[in-house]
Amino acid sequence: MNTESDALGRVLHAAVSDVDTPLGFAEAALRKGKQRRKRVRAAMVGTALAITAMVGGLVSSVPVWLADSENVTPASDPRLGRPTGGDLAGDAELLSQSRILWNRELKALLDRLLSNAPAGCWDALGEPHVYWSGRTGAGPASVVMQAIRTTDSCFAHIARGEFTAVGLIGTDSTGKGVHLLGVTLKGAANSEEEVFLFGPDDNTVVALQESGARYYSRRAEVQADGKVTRDWHALSYRDGVATVVIPPAEPRPQPQNDPAFAKRTQAQPGATVPPEDRVRPFSTARSRGMVTGHGNVGYFGWLNLQGHLGGPRLEFAERLRRFNDVLDRMGYSDPAFRGAARARPGELTLIPMAPAGRQGESPSTLQGVTPGLAGGWHVTAVLPDGRTVIVGEEPINNSVHTYAVLWRGDVVDQVIHGAPAERDPVLPVNIRMPDGQGWIVARQGAKLKWRSTTGVWTDLPGDAALLPADAEMVNVTAPGIPSTNVTLGT
């Protein structure tokens, strides 16, 4: 710099050299910053409402012959007009990105949740509203809402009308980017409440106060005698949203967590949670799995097992009722999901994935059958001592437990707990009957043979069998599985 520039610099520095901030300047700046953040949130909501009203007004002002027969109005859900809550509500970039992702990914997800509903089954009304945006154990997340109207072209079992779609924007559990992870459309189709599970192993919870969930239980504990209990903890809400990180269970991969939510706390760890107190969460791992093609089933769900080995032949619904009743009544099922309408987060939606030709099927034909287990399996047999048995599966903590219920006549005699199945077991059903009554083994579609201590292999006619007590090993051959010997009791 030249002399003139230097001189000007010195003049300017000298002019302000004794300028200092007054006392309390920093605290005043903080206070004003907080006030400003509140004003910005309110203004953004106001703008969103104005746009919503404007769009609604424009649509409703088109000529009748162009407009739909139903009036298009903004949803009446008051949450759509509330200021954005959460500790990242002032992050305009995050809010903007949340709305962009919502607009980009809502269709794919909602179409899947509506069981591959045909295009045009629903319309989005107005603009999406970011209800909450904050930090969670699985990174920043946003709860976004938008009014949705289902249309005449929807299936019969999807209610028609206006609903609020509530979705969670966050990091995919596989760590592959930020997406719209899941959407509930309470009242229209799926029965999940606005309690989202996401993050690794669905271990992070974002629950909305309107869901009614006040308590959560990390996982069901299967006691040594096979009975199942749960501990409950209170959820803490702030700005209408509670976030919780559920620590992973050890040892991994099993047993896994399977969080449950309730409106009231339970007096006893094993007490059945009344259906009216249950809050069914939304597993985003499952919904993302539906979109990406990767997901965890959590039950065998066999449809074609040749499981009838003897005794009275019962319809599936009757077998299911008898089996579930005993497990529920005697405490062998998850207390958070007991009852005829036991619906679990792993089973996603009340709407069965209808195969071609069944799209118009009435829900009444499937009443009482848990959707995920529709057309499921049991092994029924008569033991050498005359007792009858039903062997079935019970999903607990997202893994499959096998149970055998034994009757002597019409009286329940005993319940036997099989070990939880591994992720991809060679012989999933492998359960010893009490009092030397043998073994029940099964794998759908497998060719089975067994041998005793004599070492002689005996072929079995089906994919399920009641083996004598001296059976020692089963050989399993199935599609994708080479001939494998499984030692019983290991």
Partner 1 sequence: MTTADERVLVVPLPVSLRSAPGTARVRGHEVAMATVDDGFVEFVRERSSALLRTARLLCAGDRAAAEDLVQDVLARVYCRWSRIVGDPEPYVRTALFNAAKHRWRRRSRRVAEAQWDDALMSEHPSAEGGHEDQLAARDVAMRALAQLPPRMRAVIVLRFFEDYSEEQTANVLGCSTGTVKSQTSRGLTKLRGLIDLTGDRVEEPR
Under the binding rule (CB under 8 A), the answer on residue 357 touching partner 1 is no
Let me know: does 78 contact 124? Beta carbons within 8 Å: no
Min separation Cβ 106 and partner 1, Å? 17
Residue (3 or 364) nearer to partner 1, CB: 3
Min separation Cβ 87 and partner 1, Å? 5
Under the binding rule (CB under 8 A), the answer on residue 170 touching partner 1 is yes
Instruction: Please state whether the peptide bond connecting residue 78 to the residue before it is cis, i.e. omega within 30 degrees of 0.
Output: no
Q: Helical H runs in 16-91?
A: 25-60
Residue 23 sits at φ, ψ, to 5 deg, of -60, 145
The amino acid that residue 348 corresponds to is L
Under the binding rule (CB under 8 A), the answer on residue 43 touching partner 1 is yes
Span near partner 1 by CB under 8 A; candidates 3-11, 187-195, 356-364, 381-389:
3-11
- In the list 4, 250, 276, 315, the residue contacting partner 1 (rule: CB under 8 A) is 4
Helix, strand and coil content of the chain, in percent to the nearest 5, comes to 25, 30, 45
Let me know: does 370 contact 350? Beta carbons within 8 Å: no
Under the binding rule (CB under 8 A), the answer on residue 423 touching partner 1 is no
Under the binding rule (CB under 8 A), the answer on residue 22 touching partner 1 is yes
Residue (96 or 304) nearer to partner 1, CB: 96
Tokens at 442, concatenated:
């099964």
- In the list 135, 294, 329, 408, the residue contacting partner 1 (rule: CB under 8 A) is 135
Of 430, 400, 431, 429, nearest in space to 415 by CA:
431
- In the list 45, 72, 75, 94, the residue contacting partner 1 (rule: CB under 8 A) is 94
Under the binding rule (CB under 8 A), the answer on residue 264 touching partner 1 is no
Span near partner 1 by CB under 8 A; candidates 170-178, 200-208, 436-444, 463-471:
170-178
Q: List the 481-487 sheet strands across, edge first.
A: 457-459, 447-452, 471-478, 481-487
SS3 457: strand
Burial 347-359 (b: 16+ CB within 10 A, else e): bbbbbbeeeeeee
Let me know: does 113 contact 190? Beta carbons within 8 Å: yes
Min separation Cβ 136 and partner 1, Å? 7
Size, binding site for partner 1 by CB under 8 A: 57
Under the binding rule (CB under 8 A), the answer on residue 7 touching partner 1 is yes
Where do contacts with partner 1 occur on this chain (CB under 8 A)? 3-22, 25-30, 32-37, 40, 43-44, 47, 87-88, 90-94, 97-98, 135-136, 138-142, 169-171, 177-178
